[in-house]
Amino acid sequence: MAELTYRDAVAAGIAQEMERDQNVVFLGEDVAHAGGVFKATVGLIERFGPLRVRDCPISEQAIIGAAMGAAMTGLRPIAEIMFSDFFAVCWDMIANEIAKARYMTNGQMAMPLVIRTANGGGSRFGAQHSQSVENWAMMIPGLKVVAPAFPADVKGLLAAAVRDPDPVIFFEQKSLYSLKGEVPDGEYVDELGKAKVLRHGKDCTIVALAAMVHRALEAAEVLEREHGISCTVVDVRSLVPLDTQTILSEVAKTGRLVTVEENPRLCGWGAEIASIVADECFWELDGPIIRITTPHVPLPSADLLEDHTMPSAERIVRELRAKLD
């Protein structure tokens, strides 16, 4: 195992798949010689050359249009949209064309492409560059949606996404890029649609995604050490496909569900999980479902305001103490 940062795991996952399959190509803004605006693609242009690693104009529509055409004609493109907020610029092609191609052609056409993007807050980029929009993608039939929390998951899930025959939206939480962790050497491929239970407890099940996984784990440690509240923590990892079996199983064991979501509360992914849990294991619940989310507001850029708005470990501890004691 090698210790890599989250950003280096991105480059490692892309390089693994480009080395394995000559049909894998990579395109986006500043992804070649600049190594990406977040330095997550350093070294790829030197290794694979300008035909397979392409810098694009500042046009999200051009990037997605080129990737869509490439996928239609037999390549397996990886396209980078610099900030997930910019999906709004090219959403028609993603939601109405890429997501619908297999259905509209009665399965005659596959759309094997990955759209990578930096998602979420915590880096002081302001309201137009800090949104957590995984729920935008989750609601579109035909798209798979992945959001890893650890470097090893970045490499393994990115490889699985590239090999998948369907379009995958791959959300990289930008405040995690410097996070370090052990990553398997050599070829490593994970499985889409599998959550991970990172911690076992008896009093409640916390379900979290991306950066919120780390805050949930920190809160769980404090809750057990200082307040005697024992929490299971589940890293969802993949919203589509969603591992309902793991989530329902862990909720049934503890009798309580808590979701920790970076996306705004209204129509967040946790609302869907809460609905599934209420439908499937209502009689196993010992109390109301708790959702801890960002409020339904644009994310501030001022550091104190941004930190106050996003769910923190301290807030998770405070809310669970109030509702579980």
State whether 150 and 60 are in the same domain.
yes
Residue 188 domain flag: no
- Of the three residues 148, 183, 218, the one that is the final residue of a domain is 183
Phi, psi of 87 (to 5 degrees): -55, -30
Residue 191 domain flag: no
pTM > 0.85: yes
The domain of 230 spans 196-324
Displacement of CA 71 from its chain's centroid (Å) = 22
For 283-316, give one letter per residue: b (16+ CB within 10 A) or e.
Answer: eebeeebbbbbbeeeebbbeeeebeebbbbbebb
pLDDT for the residue numbered 324: 87
State whether 174 and 250 are in the same domain.
no
pLDDT for the residue numbered 1: 87
pLDDT for the residue numbered 19: 98
Q: In whole angstroms, what is the distance from residue 162 CA to residue 23 CA?
A: 11
Does an H or E element contain 180, and which? strand 180-183
The answer, yes or no, to whether residue 325 has pLDDT greater than 80, is no
Q: Are 152 and 183 in contact (CB under 8 A)?
A: yes
State whether 92 and 160 are in the same domain.
yes
3-state secondary structure of 120: coil
Q: In whole angstroms, what is the distance from residue 100 CA to residue 304 CA?
A: 42
State whether 155 and 202 are in the same domain.
no
What are 221-240's pLDDT values in tens digits?
Answer: 999 999 999 999 999 999 99
Average pLDDT over residues 148-158: 98
State whether 177 and 225 are in the same domain.
no
Q: In whole angstroms, what is the distance from residue 112 CA to residue 99 CA?
A: 11
Q: In whole angstroms, what is the distance from residue 279 CA to residue 286 CA?
A: 14
Categorize the per-residue pLDDT at 33 as very low, low, confident or very high, splitting at 50, 70 and 90: very high
The answer, yes or no, to whether residue 93 has pLDDT greater than 90, is yes
Residue 104 domain flag: yes
Query: CB neighbours of 187 closer than 8 A, spacing ≥ 6?
Result: 16, 20, 159
State whether 136 and 274 are in the same domain.
no
- Of the three residues 183, 218, 236, the one that is the final residue of a domain is 183
pLDDT for the residue numbered 204: 98
What are 177-228's pLDDT values in tens digits?
Answer: 999 999 999 999 999 999 999 999 999 999 999 999 999 999 999 999 999 9
State whether 298 and 201 are in the same domain.
yes
Given 33, 129, 200, 308, which residue is catalytic?
129
26 beta partners: 53, 78
- Of the three residues 151, 183, 215, the one that is the final residue of a domain is 183
Residue 190 domain flag: no
**What CATH number is associated with residue 222?**
3.40.50.920
Does an H or E element contain 276, and which? helix 269-280
The answer, yes or no, to whether residue 289 has pLDDT greater than 90, is yes
Number of domains in the chain: 2
Q: In whole angstroms, what is the distance from residue 262 CA to residue 174 CA?
A: 13
Is 129 one of the catalytic residues?
yes
Q: In whole angstroms, what is the distance from residue 262 CA to residue 244 CA?
A: 20
